[in-house]
Amino acid sequence: MAMTGRVTDAAEILTGEEEARLSDRLARYEMRTKHQMVIATTSSLHGARVDNFGTCLGERWEIGRQDHDDGIVILVAPKEQQIRIATGLGMEKILTDDKALAVIHEMLPQFEIQDYAGGLSTGIDAIAAQTGDTE
């Protein structure tokens, strides 16, 4: 999957307006914190584990500052009903696996009614709060 910007919607679950709004929010987050966060949706994991898929995307796309390894990838695979928040090693002390799982649980109610943009916005805000950005 090729990266198309801060929001790569390969599963086509977002409108253009939703993508733009999420991308703007991610840009503001990066400007304030210097941490890079992206969203990726995929039509299929092709048999891969969601955690491996998210980590591989982060590495392939070089998300985060090289000298800090502080990138964040929010991965959504709606067909498989899988969500993953993958972090670079430099973010793991701030956004632990337990905290990332709590963020996913905050996103789920909106995902269950197929409000993907709303769920992703909730996720961005929750991650921002965990990492010191309180827009």
- Indicate the SS3 state at residue 41: strand
Q: Is residue 101 part of a domain?
A: yes
How many alpha carbons fall within 13 Å on the CB side of residue 51?
3
d(CA 96, CA 107): 17
Provide the pLDDT confidence category of residue 133 given band limits of 50, 70 and 90.
low
Exposed e or buried b for every residue in 7-34, given b needs 16+ CB within 10 A? bbbbbebbeeebbebbeebbeebbeebe
Q: Is residue 123 part of a domain?
A: yes
Provide the pLDDT confidence category of residue 10 given band limits of 50, 70 and 90.
very high
Residue 135 pLDDT > 70, yes or no?
no
Reported in sequence order, the residue ranges of 15-128 that DSSP labels E, i.e. its strands, are: 37-41, 72-77, 82-87
Q: Is residue 44 part of a domain?
A: yes
β-sheet bridge partners, residue 82:
77
Q: Is residue 39 part of a domain?
A: yes
Domain encompassing residue 33: 7-130
Contact 73, 63 (CB under 8 A): yes
Provide the pLDDT confidence category of residue 134 given band limits of 50, 70 and 90.
low
Provide the pLDDT confidence category of residue 43 given band limits of 50, 70 and 90.
very high
Q: Is residue 2 part of a domain?
A: no
d(CA 55, CA 60): 9
Q: Is residue 40 part of a domain?
A: yes
Q: What value does the mean pLDDT of the chain take?
A: 93
What is the number of domains present in the chain? Answer: 1
Q: Domain with 59 in it: what CATH number?
A: 3.10.310.50
Provide the pLDDT confidence category of residue 15 given band limits of 50, 70 and 90.
very high
Contact 81, 50 (CB under 8 A): no
Q: Is residue 116 part of a domain?
A: yes
Q: Is residue 1 part of a domain?
A: no
- Average pLDDT on 98-119 reads 96
